[in-house]
Amino acid sequence: ENGIKDCSDGSDECPANSKKETVFSSPFEMIGNPVFRGILWMMGGISLLGNTAVCIISIMQVRTAKSEPLKVAFLWLVANLSVSDLLMGVYLLSVSAMGSRFSGSYCYHDAEWRSSQTCSILGSLAVVSTEVSALIMAAMATIRLVSVYFPVRMSSIKRVTYAAPIVCAWCVGILIGTLPLANYKSGYFVESACVCMPRLFAKVGDAAWGYSTFIIVFNFCLFVYMACCYLFLYQRSRKVTKVGKSKSRRLLRTVAAMIFTNFCCWIPICIMAFITLAGVKLDNIVYVVCAGVLHPLNSVLNPLIYS
């Protein structure tokens, strides 16, 4: 029904416990669709290289911006954002590499891989990356907004003002992402997908459905908060700027890009998750697109926008 062969028949001679249907795999390929395999490799490479470059450049620029505390604050926020997004690149490349390793004989490794600690750790890494990234972006939006309303006070921003949100973002993100590892054999990350994605679309009553719902609602609220911050920022900047309309238009384009990319990445996922919670069954392609493409896409786009 979902394009998954029964790999326990006589011709395929695959183990019986590898029959579990997934939206990603085929009997002999962990990532069955070659186009999707290419997308994962591409996004993983761009995320790893792009975020590494942004992190290095941001840290180097800190040395030349010591006389500008607000700029230093943003540079450290961007550096930490790039590190969190870099983790998503590590996840994507690791999953792609495992797919290449099992190529041609995946069904023989299916059950062992889906129940392995390695798969759970990779899924946890994806969640940590997503949550830390979202929290740091929210902190950036807050500091940007406050700096527009109180430019004189924020021009001499104290280190603790931006260091504390960074530390909190990492602590909260790691806590959220590693909670399922307390019992990794529960299969939260692997029961529904061989690529170790978190179970974004859970029905009421499913295992850990409350955890999945919390992640979706939490990220939805962060998006709404960031959108409001940037809209207020633009409105305030347009009132106080004396440089002319060109600067206002540039700011509008930047703010629009920030909101639009977050909207495209998270709002469809949130809407689909809420629909699933309401008891509506979604086509498997929806999960592939949302979990496999939109979920990690922010990590690819963030270095281009926030740097």
- Domains (range + CATH), the chain: 16-306 (1.20.1070.10)
Return contacts of 258-263, CB within 8 angstroms, 24+ apart. 258/226, 258/230, 258/305, 258/306, 259/226, 259/227, 259/230, 259/231, 261/297, 261/298, 261/301, 261/302, 261/305, 262/137, 262/223, 262/226, 262/227, 262/298, 263/223, 263/227
Mean residue pLDDT across the chain: 80
Highest mean pLDDT: which range of 15-19, 33-37, 79-83, 231-235? 79-83
Q: Which residues contact 104 (CB under 8 A, 6 or more apart)?
A: 28, 29
**Dihedral (Cα; 236, 239, 241, 245), 10-degree rounding:** 110
Q: Which pLDDT belongs to residue 136?
A: 92
7-21, 25-39, 92-106, 223-237: which range is least confident on average?
Answer: 7-21
CA-wise closest residue to 261 among 307, 217, 302, 229: 302
Q: Is the predicted pLDDT of residue 284 greater than 90, yes or no?
A: no
Q: Which pLDDT belongs to residue 5?
A: 41
Q: Which pLDDT belongs to residue 8?
A: 39
Evaluate whether 21 touches 2 at the Cβ level (below 8 Å). yes
Residue 23: half-sphere exposure toward Cβ, Cα within 13 Å: 18
CA–CA gap between residue 235 and residue 251 (Å, rounded): 10
Average pLDDT over residues 154-170: 91
- Paired tokens of 12: 């395929």
Highest mean pLDDT: which range of 132-141, 194-203, 280-289, 294-303? 132-141
91-126 residue pLDDT tens = 999 988 988 888 877 778 777 787 788 888 888 898
pTM of the model as a whole = 0.85
67 by Cβ neighbours in 10 Å (0-12 / 13-18 / 19+) ranks as exposed
